[in-house]
Amino acid sequence: TWSMFHHFSDMLREARATPEQRAAAYEALARVPGVVLVGETTDRFGRRGVGVAIDIIDNEPSGFLYRYVLVFDPGTADLLEERREVLPGNRHRGLQPGTLEAYATYEYAVVDRLGERPPARG
């Protein structure tokens, strides 16, 4: 199930899909076993979004337990953020439950030409 969740997060992050393709991806993501609705949440930029997640249990010697969260803009359905939150019972590197272990936050913009960067956040 993790690989299915990861596949959809890759597609939603990297592909500028049509609204129909994105809707189909969201519908398929909702059907992945173990995916739960986190509900309203914010990303690192403070933007409000809706989160979905799946708990990952790495039974290898690392004992890494985490929740992989995807945060979507409720108006545009753009992926705003991905993050890994440490779960209780984690034995990896002594990380405490609730620790934000990794994250990536995204912004989308249209520019006039190749190589142009959108304005920096204020």
pLDDT in tens, 21-54: 777 888 888 888 999 999 999 999 999 999 999 9
SS3 per-residue string spanning 15-29: CCCCHHHHHHHHHHH
Predicted pLDDT of residue 51: 93
Tally Cβ neighbours within 10 Å of residue 91: 12
pTM recorded for the entire structure: 0.81
The DSSP H or E segment spanning 69 is: strand 65-72
